[in-house]
Amino acid sequence: MTLITVGLNHNTAPLAVRETLAFPIDQCGPALSRLAELPGVAEGAIVSTCNRTELYAAGKTPDDQRLRHWLCDQRGLDAAGLAPHFYVYRDRDSIRHALRVAAGLDSMILGEPQILGQMKEAFRQAQAATTAGPLLTRLFEHSFAVAKSVRSETDIGANPVSVAYAGVSLARQIFAEFNETTAMLIGAGDTIELTARHLADAGVQRMIFANRSLDRAQALAERFTGYAIPLSDVAAHLAEADMVVTSTAAPNHVVSLANVRDSVRKRRRQPIFMLDLAVPRDIDPAAGSLEDVYLYSVDDLQGVIRDNLRSRHSAALVADGMIDERIDEFVAWMDSRRAVDTISQLRHRAEQQREAVLARARRMLAQDQSPDEVMQYLANTLTNKLMHEPTAALRRARGQEQQQLLEQARRLFDLPDEE
């Protein structure tokens, strides 16, 4: 079995490209079923976050070009035009990539923990779609275990560095004090919850939580100082917000240019800070051109994040060393699995040959042939059948290949060394 990873991330593709290839959770199941139908693909998983979209596939002959074309076809995009943004990893490199992603070493924010939860969700989706077979199941479970070790044995998670933390730090450039500001948070996932926690710690005393599911928004409102509104009421309350942070899985904008223009007019030139952490984006990017609107996306946070990451780089070097050791564990498991599969196939073929010869021997006995004659037939025929393919392969081989096969045969069958 070959393992392959095809994808793009924040290092290889801008936000405008990443958002076109993002997979909402409710679309992953059907997409995984289609992925598993590709020639050469026996197992598949899709990891899609604001910073990456990746396909993990395992099979006898998974083809990276076919996978790239399939991924682009799912979104009606031209694969040739996006080719420069893709990366491809195979086998050992694919294992290393998965382990680094799970540990947060391949994230925009070095060591961020959210990616681990996102990978676990991707694995659950693949399990539900029955596309996570033995190889991908082992890969994801191994990745989770390695990520846990990296986080507990290094300082990779030291200091509060996250997209949410970086966003709040960026907002401080607009507002000197937070205690009199109102924040609107659109969405109700982990990123929004973490943002709310950082805003509360920074002194924000009034928050508006908007979400498609009002119950989830109300649950956050009860934990923090605020109240909940349905997503459909965002436009009506937008002018109340000094800060707007969005992180939903909506396929289209939930805040339009007209919504923002209307809120700016009502606010009478009071500045409004807007942070769009969603991919695809929740806020129409054109809103950033309006006066008194400070609109940022996840890609705009990199400068803030870079300043907060210096303490984690030495820990990342240690983590990479740990990962290299754990790759060997997984490769050893893959090798042992290949050996088990090959042994099983050899035994199955031998059993088929035995049953065919045994059936013939029984017919000979039923025809009153002597037992000694039947025993001779049975022994000779079985020997010839079992030895035919190995000896034919040795005779066909030439030069160095033949020498290697002869040496392996001596080891396998415990034959004396050649004089």
Q: What's the CA gap between 353 and 133, in Å, rounded? A: 30
Torsion angle of alpha carbons 172, 175, 177, 181, nearest 10°? -110
187 appears as a binding residue in the annotation: yes
In degrees, rounded to 5, the angle at the alpha carbon of residue 154 between the alpha carbons of residues 298 and 314 is: 70
DSSP for 366-400 reads HTT--HHHHHHHHHHHHHHHHHHHHHHHHHH--HH
Q: What's the CA gap between 416 and 384, in Å, rounded? A: 22
Q: What's the CA gap between 65 and 55, in Å, rounded? A: 12
- Residue 161, Cβ neighbours under 10 Å: how many? 21
Is 28 a catalytic site residue?
no
49 appears as a binding residue in the annotation: yes
Closest CA to 101 of 89, 111, 87, 91: 111
Tokens of 164: 């949410």
Q: Which residues are CB-neighbours of 66 under 8 A, at least 6 positions away?
A: 38, 39, 40
52 appears as a binding residue in the annotation: yes
Q: What's the CA gap between 240 and 230, in Å, rounded? A: 15
- Give the length of the chain: 419
Closest CA to 167 of 112, 88, 86: 112
Q: Pick the catalytic residue from 46, 47, 50, 361.
A: 50
50 appears as a binding residue in the annotation: yes
End-to-end CA distance of the chain: 39
Phi, psi of 408 (to 5 degrees): -65, -40
**Long-range contacts, stretch 393-399, CB < 8 angstroms, 24+ apart:** none
112 appears as a binding residue in the annotation: yes
Q: What are the helix (H) ranges across 283-370?
A: 302-307, 310-366
Residue 210 contacts residue 230 (beta carbons within 8 Å): yes
Closest CA to 128 of 26, 57, 248, 48: 26
305 appears as a binding residue in the annotation: no
- Which residues carry a binding-site annotation for NADP(+)? 187-192
- Which residues carry a binding-site annotation? 49-52, 107, 112-114, 118, 187-192
- Which residues carry a binding-site annotation for substrate? 49-52, 107, 112-114, 118
Q: Which positions are annotated as active-site residues?
A: 50
